[in-house]
Chain A
Amino acid sequence: MRRRRGFAGIAALAAVPLAALVLFFVLPVAGMVARGLWVDGSFDPAGALQVLTRSRTHEVLWFTLWSAAAATVVSMLLGLPVTFVLYRLRVPGRRLLRALVVMPFVLPTVVVGVAFRTLLAPSGPLGGLGLDGSAVAIVAAMVFFNLAVVVRTVGSMWEHLDPRREQAAAALGASPAQVLRTVTLPALAPSIVAAASVVFLFCSTAFGIVLTLGGLRYSTVETEIYLLTTQFLDLQAAAALSLLQLFVVTGLLYAAHVTRTHREHAVDRASARSVTRRVRRADVPVLLVAGLALVLVAAPVVTLVLGSLRVDGGWGTAHYRALGTVGADNALLVPVTDALANSWRVAVDATLIAMVLGGLVAVVVSRQGRSRGERRGLALLDAVFMLPLGVSAVTLGFGFLITLDRPPLDLRTSPLLVPIAQAMVALPLVVRTIAPVLRSIEPRQRQAAASLGASPLRVLRTVDLPVVWRPLLAATGFAFAVSLGEFGATSFLARPQQPTMPVVIFELISRPGADNFGMALAASVVLALVTVAVMATVERLRIGSMGAF
């Protein structure tokens, strides 16, 4: 009896986010897919499935998978050294660097595309590499965007990993490489798997960057869906590809789940002070790789900054000063500063929604199921909330329009729709940042607290919260960044009445004229800096002794 009640409580916690997921993800996607499968009122899946047999579909799927896989692997290979350096070594300025790494994450894809192409075009500083329009450029840009995911997801776990376990291994004769392989990586596995699956999903659904950098040679499932839906209105083919996406994503999530369940254990925690150590000579290779990764992140950003300071062939801050205006020749409806304020408000809403929903989901999925069925249910729940990352923003965006069209759910024109859509994108990140840490809490601590008379809420506050506090902040900053930079899904929805930063930047860069271009770059730099400031502040926030409650 008692047991069932406990599970019922958890199920109740999950109900709110689940309802949101059904309403804002399952329903719209199902609606769009159904439009493709029901032709003229009759169920005709054959037409749609026929698309899957086309050789073009196979090529596109193959490119999607390998480019996303390559980008994921490279993001890991570069991101883990960066994470190590920024979270385990006493490198000067590491807090700032941790915040800076997130910069790319919020840059609008159109601007990043321009920045990358400025670097790689035959006339650019790296033109000699011949990478313009190549698959390498696409993968590099994906890595550029997603390094932050690796660094922040893994970092929030790594900074708590007790170094003495590694030291014990070293003292037993394990070389640094062996320590890494046999101790560190297994301990980090939950967050590594989490980061890798998020990165893979982001990459496999990246479409702006593929369109811009891939030119016409490369297309992914996502860009195909985009073209089929927005240009050709071929809903049959789009539905087939959306189903394909769902299928692949589900398979991936299942694989990630299998890996994860074998890996997650209670972890001894260490204070942040003791885990960082001085730099040694042996760290030089790692520092070099990390440096290389940071250069990769910095190069396009530097290109943007330099571009934003170019005024009439000279240098100056005119473009930044112009941000308070509506641009050359009234390019904008509102000054960029107003757009920043609008972005801020939308981001606060989206972050709040994502944190509340994501926090609930994380709490629920990190509980230990008491029976096989419960464990299965929790695992399923865990995976289901990752789906929004892996499914086409176009399908989702158009799905909103055709399904949420009846009162009381006619949210299509609601100003809340955009924050909700952004929250659905940020939600998996929030869950992925918090859940591994929650799972690593020794369950006996909770049992001990409960046995001392603590209510479930109090257990959460006294046992979970002190540990999860920093990841929670990290996730908040992350969700905020997602919302500040998100343009993909929302651009298919009714865009917010008051233009946001990405919208304004898009407007500016879509106009001829050097001043508008300069302002677009300046606005991007400001957007990135605001994000860095938010992230850095979040890093600094320290609620000294949450355990003292």
Chain B
Amino acid sequence: MRTTTRRALAAVTSLLVLTGCALSNSSDDAGEDSTKVVVATHDSWNMSKQVLRRFTEETGYEVTVQPSGDAGALTNKLVLTKDSPVADVVYGIDNTFASRAVDEGVLVDHAPSDDPGGEFEPQDATAAEQLTPVDYSDVCVNIDDTWFARNDVPPPTSFDDLADARYRGLFVTPAPSTSSPGLAFLAATVAYYGEDGWADYWQRLVDNDVKITSGWSDAYQVDFTQGGGSGDRPIVLSYASSPPFTVDDTGEPTTSALLDTCFRQVEYAGVLAGAANPEGARAFVDFMAGREFQEALPDNMYVYPVDPDAALPAAWAEYAVPADDPASLPESVIAAHRAEWLETWADVTS
């Protein structure tokens, strides 16, 4: 009887100790102070600690990162909390959501003194004053070169090819309604075929048995022939930066990006209105535009730095060349038409 009691007590005690540790360990970064900069960003945030430590060394500010959701969720979260922001600075609003953030008054003006990403500035004037371009990625159709070589089929090169009967049943893309590269591809087709032509193009894609998945990982990892599984579609929507990840034993990538099918997604940083630490926020935006952060982008976050002089990793320089002339649309046009496009798109594809 005593033993039982003692054993039960021991169990409870050890549980409490374990928990006590857990609670105290995880609460050490709570609280506010002026040396702290809080960064709101999306789930794909992945910057190494060394780089952030350099920022602290240079400016004295400690960085706390709060990733949540995708670019859309991030933007909407900022809109909803604009009266009482959760962070000082945002990174990760892209050109498809930039207008919403700007229109809702989430941000305040700030531009780094030394801004290397001039050519990526938002086209809208207010937006350009508030948002600082940090990186970009080209969403492009990728193909499995080995598949085309093996099957002796000439690889496709253009949007029109994807609707060609020769490539029937070979293309898989994530949906624009649930995936941000999916939306980029839709925007690319709008930019390429125009307001009046893109719906017809999608109808041709559907007639050519395009497969539409909900997310990128689904399309790439399950359906794509070079993905993680054993997919059966050799054409997939991905990024211009994807091929280096498929380098095989021969040192050559097994896939390539079709650079005539790209849409450029630009990610911005900005200082939040009502930031507790606006000084620190501005410093961090400047830091992101700086060389060190720019050069760390490809390895850590798989995006191209906006700084044209930033050095790229060797494999990127060779196999992940960005598009020369990617499609783009003014962010205000995307914002104004997004809902309407998605509705039309849903009508065409369902």
Q: Taking the complex as a whole, does A directly touch B, i.e. does some CB pair lie under 8 Å apart?
A: yes
B177 to chain A, nearest CB (A): 6
Cβ of A494 and Cβ of B26 under 8 Å apart?
no
A110 to B216, alpha carbons, bound, how many Å? Answer: 11
Cβ of B100 and Cβ of A348 under 8 Å apart?
no
Cβ of A543 and Cβ of B221 under 8 Å apart?
no
A481 to B73, alpha carbons, bound, how many Å? Answer: 26
Stretch at the interface among B1-9, B145-153, B156-164, B192-200: B1-9
Cβ of B48 and Cβ of A333 under 8 Å apart?
yes
Q: What 1/0 flags go to B4-28 for Cβ under 8 Å of A?
A: 1101100100010011011101110
Is A401 close to B, CB under 8 A? yes
A53 to B80, alpha carbons, bound, how many Å? Answer: 26
Contact of A492 among B19, B21, B23, B69 (CB under 8 A): B69
Count of interface residues, chain B, beta-carbon cutoff 8 Å? 77
Is B242 close to A, CB under 8 A? yes
Cβ of A332 and Cβ of B177 under 8 Å apart?
no
Cβ of B22 and Cβ of A510 under 8 Å apart?
no
By a CB distance below 8 angstroms, the chain B residues around A114 are: 217-218, 221-222, 228-229
Is B38 close to A, CB under 8 A? yes
A538 to chain B, nearest CB (A): 11
A7 to B26, alpha carbons, bound, how many Å? Answer: 38
Q: What 1/0 flags go to B325-350 for Cβ under 8 Å of A?
A: 00000000000001100000010011
Is B66 close to A, CB under 8 A? yes
By a CB distance below 8 angstroms, the chain A residues around B222 are: 114, 117-118, 121
A311 to chain B, nearest CB (A): 12
Is A55 close to B, CB under 8 A? no
Cβ of A492 and Cβ of B218 under 8 Å apart?
no
Interface residues of B in 212-242 (CB under 8 A from A): 212-218, 220-223, 227-232, 238-239, 242
Is A214 close to B, CB under 8 A? yes
Given contacts A216-B214, A398-B80, A546-B8, contact A346 B229 (CB under 8 A): no
Is B109 close to A, CB under 8 A? no
Cβ of A413 and Cβ of B19 under 8 Å apart?
no
Is A123 close to B, CB under 8 A? yes
A253 to B7, alpha carbons, bound, how many Å? Answer: 39
A520 to B100, alpha carbons, bound, how many Å? Answer: 34
Cβ of B231 and Cβ of A121 under 8 Å apart?
yes
Is A402 close to B, CB under 8 A? yes
Count of interface residues, chain A, beta-carbon cutoff 8 Å? 76
Given contacts A413-B30, A492-B73, A546-B4, contact A123 B68 (CB under 8 A): no
B228 to chain A, nearest CB (A): 3
Is B292 close to A, CB under 8 A? no
Is A517 close to B, CB under 8 A? yes
By a CB distance below 8 angstroms, the chain A residues around B350 are: 216-217
Is B124 close to A, CB under 8 A? no
Given contacts A405-B84, A413-B86, contact A517 B38 (CB under 8 A): no
A414 to B86, alpha carbons, bound, how many Å? Answer: 11
Is B115 close to A, CB under 8 A? no
Cβ of B215 and Cβ of A212 under 8 Å apart?
yes
A366 to B65, alpha carbons, bound, how many Å? Answer: 44
Residue of A nearest to B177 (CB): A227
Cβ of B246 and Cβ of A512 under 8 Å apart?
yes
Is A329 close to B, CB under 8 A? yes
By a CB distance below 8 angstroms, the chain A residues around B100 are: 233
Contact of B215 among A110, A344, A517, A544 (CB under 8 A): A110
By a CB distance below 8 angstroms, the chain B residues around A348 are: 18-19, 22
Q: What 1/0 flags go to B301-326 for Cβ under 8 Å of A?
A: 01000000000000000000000000
Cβ of B221 and Cβ of A509 under 8 Å apart?
yes
Is A274 close to B, CB under 8 A? no
Contact of A513 among B29, B70, B245 (CB under 8 A): B245
By a CB distance below 8 angstroms, the chain B residues around A211 are: 178, 214-215
Cβ of B29 and Cβ of A412 under 8 Å apart?
no
Q: Offer 16 A-B interface pairs, CB within 8 angstroms, sorted by A.
A: A114-B217, A114-B229, A124-B230, A212-B218, A216-B346, A229-B73, A333-B48, A346-B26, A398-B80, A406-B84, A497-B29, A507-B44, A512-B238, A514-B246, A517-B227, A543-B8
Query: Could you list 10 further interchain pairs (A-B, Cβ under 8 angstroms) beyond the known A215-B175, A231-B72, A543-B7?
Result: A124-B230, A216-B178, A328-B245, A352-B19, A413-B66, A494-B66, A510-B216, A511-B302, A512-B246, A549-B5
Give residues in B with beta carbon < 8 Å to A: 1, 4-5, 7-8, 11, 15, 18-19, 21-23, 25-27, 29-30, 38, 43-44, 46-49, 64-70, 72-73, 75-77, 79-81, 83-84, 86, 100, 175, 177-178, 212-218, 220-223, 227-232, 238-239, 242, 245-246, 249, 299-300, 302, 338-339, 346, 349-350
